[in-house]
Amino acid sequence: MENRIKSPCKHLRSKNIMVPDFSNAGEDYSIDPSVQHYWCLCTMTTAGPDNKLAVPEDCQTNRSCFEAEDE
């Protein structure tokens, strides 16, 4: 089963975000269970500016460093 997160931080990156998924154009971001490596564009490491792990399930509005995608 594939999980969907609609609003991850705009600084969260993984290799699968670089490849468009035209089958679900209405979804903002898909989490591929096979992807295990994420990084933060602010720090260019696997941790965000708050020193917590940069992963989709944690890079949400409750983080002090969170920034929403520009609409």
pLDDT tens string 6-56? 578 999 888 776 666 556 555 545 555 566 789 999 999 999 999 999 998
Q: Is residue 20 a part of any domain in this protein?
A: yes
Spell out the residues 6+ positions from residue 46 whose beta carbon is closer than 8 angstroms to its own: 37, 38, 39, 40, 53, 54
Length of the chain: 71
Tell me if residue 3 falls in helix, strand or coil: strand
Number of domains in the chain: 1
Q: Is residue 70 a part of any domain in this protein?
A: no
pLDDT over 70 (residue 57):
yes
Domain extent at residue 30: 1-65
Q: Residues 24, 61, 28, CA angle at the centre, nearest 5°?
A: 10
Q: Is residue 12 a part of any domain in this protein?
A: yes
Q: What is the pLDDT of residue 64?
A: 95
pTM above 0.85, yes or no: no
Q: What is the pLDDT of residue 1?
A: 42
